[in-house]
Amino acid sequence: MGDSKEKRSFDAIVIGSGMSGGWAAKEFCEKGFKTLLLERGRDVKHLKDYPTTNMYPWEFRHRGEIPHEIQEKNPVVSRCYAFREDAMHFFVKDTEHPYTQEKPFDWIRGYQVGGKSIMWARQTQRWSNFDFEGPARDGFAVDWPIRYEDLAPWYSYVEKFAGISGNKDGLPNLPDGEFLPPLELSCVENYFKDFVSKNYKDRHVIYARCAHLTEPQPIHLQQGRGQCQKRTLCQRGCPFGGYYNSNSTTIPWAEKTGNLTLRPFSVVHSILYDEQKKKAVGVRVIDASTKESFEFFAPVIFVNASAINTNLILLNSKSNRFPNGLGNDNGLLGKYFAFHNYRGHISAKYDGFKDSTTDGRSPTSAYIPRFRNVFSQQTDFLRGYAAGFFSGRFPAHDKNGFGNELKSNLINSKLGPWVVGSHMMGETIPKESNTLQLDPNKSDEWGVPVMKMSIAYDDNDEKMLKDFFEQMTEMYTKAGFTNIETTDTKQAPGLDIHEMGGVRMGKDPKTSLLNKWNQMHECANVFVTDGACMTSTSTQNPSLTYMALTARAVDYAVKQMKKNEL
């Protein structure tokens, strides 16, 4: 690359343009810092690069399905619920970016500007102190260096900008936020909500908080976004900006400042460490197209490449000072990786409300916050699970008869009974045996070692799954639901797409990689604020917490830079 070092120097470098990287770029640019935002994949501009967003079902060659040939070549990503014909161009194909599985792990990725923020499920619950205090209470993992009070103002900060729809529920285990008006629950969801409230003092069914603009505020109109149209085609990219993603929100906001340099097709090889200065000075990048290697420089670096790739970059950032990866004096980098257990599903039917059905679509449903082991240890397993809850009523087709009779039966369908369902989101315990390592024998086409994963469920997960089935079956039965069926999908870790850990936060440099400001203990000008930083997983969808941690960490980094302490 012919540019001088001066032209390749910035005030801040952010690696990764997804959920947290977009926030880091926005915060730095707003505060007047010339910021380089690196993305390994292609550029995706809001509106311009959503090719399927307004297509009708019959305009898809395969009516939305993935052709068998593509499924066969991509067995991992094909298991993802959103990997369909309308959005498969936003997902990494297995064949294009292989990795090593010592134990089965489904790694779902989105390599483009915006990352997986384009295709995420948009659920946004805050953590509470019950979540941050979990490791300290039961002794597994290490104590979080922060508590809810540290993050609460930053939750509010990002909620107001992103736009979160929700109810003020007043629950100690699920703090309220800065909410736009909620959408409606169905009559069956409201029935179950009232039933649970009357029959279980410690259990609640609430509206699932989600990142959708139900009533845009001035800040959202300034972003150029409009009201959610309830199309439920979100994974295609929304032409209205009705839900939050980096492409419609944080990145354009950063670009408006004139301080952002966005560079797609930039595969980060490693972070450069200066032995004399005793800090990181920049990043080594491989051009995704030309394979040319070059370097960028900045006094502060935020690593937001998504949890697994963040671990990979840090492990690959070797020097005389850090032979085992940047900041890895304690040997814990890549260890204590965790995820969410999504294996449990339970469905049933309900014969009530036969005079009612739903009209239109909703981008969210009901949600059951964690109720096990919250206030005390109740079970023979640690931590607990949350659950989704949805209902619907669907046409029942009479398939009897032949010819005109069959045709008439199919055309004149009747509504069947209400169907209800739940899926669990269980907290897994971070374990030293769950590891991410560089494969010493394999590299990708850019010369970067591929990731080798050894991640598995344990006995705690099995006990939790059993309890989920037992408790939900009891609640369903008491509520009058029938034809109850439980399913263990036996899916591999990773398909939850809630990867967390490997570069965990903590109080002690001997047992953690990051301090309470997401700053590396041993390399103070490098910050990690994506899923890799998580000390434990809780049961809430994690993206909102990544956003809040990022805004908080940038605020701290900027204050330190102004004091010349970074």
Closest CA to 221 of 284, 292, 161, 176: 161
Per-residue pLDDT reduced to its tens digit, 471-530 = 999 999 999 999 999 999 999 999 999 999 999 999 999 999 999 999 999 999 999 999
Which residues lie closer than 8 Å to 388 by C-beta, 6 or more apart? 208, 365, 366, 367, 368, 422, 423, 425
Q: What is the pLDDT of residue 2?
A: 59
Q: What are phi and psi of 69, to 5 degrees?
A: -60, -40
Average of per-residue pLDDT values in the chain:
97
Q: What pLDDT is recorded for position 384?
A: 97
Domain membership flag for residue 125: yes
| Residue 176 is assigned to a structural domain of this protein | no
User: pTM of the prediction?
Assistant: 0.97
Q: Determine, yes or no, domain membership for 384.
A: no
pLDDT of residue 1: 52
Q: Which residues contact 97 (CB under 8 A, 6 or more apart)?
A: 109, 111, 444
Is the residue at 531 inside a domain? yes
Contacts 24+ apart (CB under 8 A), 91-95: 91/119
User: Does 327 map to a domain?
Assistant: yes
Tell me whether residue 256 is in a domain.
yes
Number of domains making up the chain: 1
8 A C-beta contact, residue 543 and residue 124: yes
Structural domain boundaries enclosing 525: 12-166+209-339+428-456+493-562
Task: Identify the CATH number of the domain in which residue 263 sits.
Answer: 3.50.50.60
Given this model, what pLDDT does residue 487 score? Answer: 98
Does some domain include residue 381?
A: no
Q: Which residues of the chain have pLDDT under 70?
A: 1-2
In a domain, 147, yes or no: yes
